[in-house]
Amino acid sequence: QAEFSELNLAAYVTGGCMVDMQVVRNGTKVVSRSFKPDFILVRQHAYSMALGEDYRSLVIGLQYGGLPAVNSLYSVYNFCSKPWVFSQLIKIFHSLGPEKFPLVEQTFFPNHKPM
């Protein structure tokens, strides 16, 4: 078990993924090892607005290597963008109607200028 910040990987077309894990606890390196995972369970957001909290490239590498995942890597990557997720909810809203699938009214702007 590790956080994205503790991982690095190499993904190959024919060889899957090799993951390097360096776990540091209280400033001390506890574990450093390389392994080829059988599958992955993602329990951390892959993207945050905080500095240095963008791990989308690791998700792409895991997908590139064809690594099976308990929660699909496609969904993990798509959830990196809240407007993208809300656009998918809008599709459901239009297919089911506001009575069965109500949504809070929102407006999207691609940047601050049109606001």
pLDDT attached to residue 112 = 86
Q: Considering only 9-13, 27-31, 60-64, 105-109, which range has the smallest mean pLDDT?
A: 27-31
pLDDT in tens, 26-74: 878 777 889 999 999 999 999 987 888 899 999 999 999 999 999 999 9
Share of the chain above pLDDT 90, in %: 70
CATH architecture of structural domain 4-80: 3-Layer(aba) Sandwich (3.40)
pTM: 0.79
Residue 38 and residue 13: Cα distance in Å, rounded?
Answer: 16
Average pLDDT over residues 81-109: 94
pLDDT of 23 reads 77
